[in-house]
Chain A
Amino acid sequence: MKKSLLITAVSSFIFLVVTWGSGMPGIDKPEKANPAVLARGKLIFNDVCATCHGKDGKGDGPLAANLQTLPRDFTEGIFKDRSTASGELPTDYDLFKVVTNGIHNTAMPPFNTLSPQDRFAAIQYVKTFSDRFDKANEYPLDIVQITTPIPESPESIMKGRKVYLKVQCYNCHGASGEGDGPSAATLKDEWGNKILPVDLTDPSGYKFAVSRLDVYRIFSTGLNGTPMPSFQDVLSDSDRWNLANYVWSLRHENQFEDAITIQELKNDEVK
């Protein structure tokens, strides 16, 4: 009994010494997977992913041209759905999550039929297309903290509506959240393609949010490569939760209806 305790103590001490300062792989420093994993990843990528994303990861596979939402070009290292601060690379888990769950309302299906090991190998191979993942100055990644949610309530939703007007989300998402704001028609992504703001009242329009927690997260992370910025520095934590509650309520069409129009809002700005 005593001996096993000693062994545990010694081995955990050795583990601590060995891992001390080495950091969390894929979050604190660049990490390349071992050649066997990359070889496995390449096999899976070429077999499953390359039809859309292309053999070189440029998003130019044979099926790409037929898709309404273009497949991601991996070479620039820009990813929309992340848990990291605006502009930063995704964590390995962020990529793993997208491969596992797919992206709603696009051609990206959930690949949960692949084994977790295969999905992990595929994302490690995807990381080799962009040299951003090798650069030390891209790390450590700043992971956005998700705090305790403010419960959904009429008060919180009304407060969220005020935040929506104060930050002028309506410039893109429209006065009532339908994605028809004055700037909506001119938005472009970083690849120069037209992009529309999400219609927040349409449950099937959400690509990356499956809960209000995701909505809150996107206010903090922004969506890289798109016009959607981060609000982490400008809105308090409670403001972001109230805003998330408001946006999430639009989806159920039980929103607080104040019938303000864009013209009225814009005229108020001028004064």
Chain B
Amino acid sequence: MLNKIAKIFLIIGMFLLPQYIFAQGTITGKVTYNGPKPRLKKIDMSIEPTCVKKHEENPEKYPSTSEGLILGKDSTIANVFVHVISGPVMDKKYSPPDNPVVLSQDGCQYHPHVLALMAGQKLKILNEDGVLHNLHFMPKVNRPFNATMPPFLKVKYVSFKQPEPIFHIKCDVHPWMSGYIAVESNPFYDVTQKDGIYKISNLPPGKYKIEAWQENLGTQTAEITIKGNETKTVNFTFTYGK
């Protein structure tokens, strides 16, 4: 009899246990801006007629203003990098995904302007312009380099061995070209689009601290506890001049 009850509990346990072990929480939210409307500097690209032409033909795809603070509808902010900075996932090892992250040099601008990838993951760099670009990457932990993307080189792959905080990349030929790259040890990060929405999923239960970074408005952090299969919402508001 007792044996039978134990068996039943064991079976129930077998069904319940994975739900606890493999519980996956999600943190999501919206990043918005509260402050005076930014006056973005117009970029003078006259030294590169190829890019001027691209911007004239498709101003929707290639906005020719500074990318320091790009807002969507309802003051949502694009290019905000949100990542986990402390929590139970920090000590674990995660292998990088096979598919590369793409950084495109298009219309003499970096697309995306801010990107994140995992240490060891490939970064596929494209030259869509057919003009000379140089890739002046200035990481502090990984080895810095200054490589060339001449018109005939369409694709180049690089990767970073170690995780490191977000760093600046630039092109010296076109001084307005500016971008940022973050190298993470785990896959728990996201970069917002124009809608300002970020989503970090598949988080095991535990106490987390997440950080939102914007290139001109600094960083903000929030603490969240994930208990099981649940979605928690954390919104960030960046203010300026108040």
Contact = CB atoms under 8 A, between A and B. Distances in A.
B161 interface: yes
B23 interface: no
A18 to B, nearest CB: 31
A209 B139 CA distance: 28
Contacts of A167: 132, 148, 150
Contacts of A124: none
B30 to A, nearest CB: 35
A231 interface: yes
A137 B47 CA distance: 39
Contacts of A85: 145
Interface string A71-87: 00000000000000111
Contact of A183 (B138, B148, B172): B172
Contacts of B53: 270
B173 interface: yes
A228 B147 CA distance: 9
Contacts of B161: 137
Interface residues of B, number: 32
Interface in B24-54: 47-50, 53
Interface stretch (B89-97, B151-159, B205-213): B151-159
Interface in B66-118: none
Given A190-B138, A269-B49, A88 B143 contact: yes
B136 A227 contact: yes
A160 interface: no
Given A229-B136, A266-B49, A166 B150 contact: yes
Given A86-B147, A183-B175, A227 B134 contact: yes
Contact of A230 (B50, B138, B148, B174): B148
B174 A87 contact: no
Contacts of B172: 172, 183, 187-188, 227, 229
Contact of B146 (A87, A138, A168): A87
Given A171-B132, A227-B136, A229-B135, A86 B145 contact: yes
B143 A87 contact: yes
Among B130, B143, B161, which residue has the most Cβ atoms of chain A within 10 A?
B143
A1 interface: no
Contact of B173 (A172, A230, A231): A172
B147 A233 contact: yes
A88 B146 CA distance: 10
Given A168-B151, A171-B173, A190-B138, A228 B131 contact: no
Interface of A: 85-88, 137-138, 166-168, 171-172, 182-183, 186-188, 190, 222, 224, 227-231, 233-234, 266-267, 269-270
Given A88-B143, A229-B134, 6 more contacts: A168-B132, A171-B132, A188-B172, A229-B135, A267-B49, A270-B53
15 contacts: A86-B147, A88-B143, A137-B143, A137-B161, A171-B173, A182-B47, A222-B146, A227-B136, A227-B146, A229-B135, A229-B172, A230-B147, A234-B148, A269-B151, A270-B50
Interface of B: 47-50, 53, 130-132, 134-138, 141, 143-153, 156, 161-162, 172-175
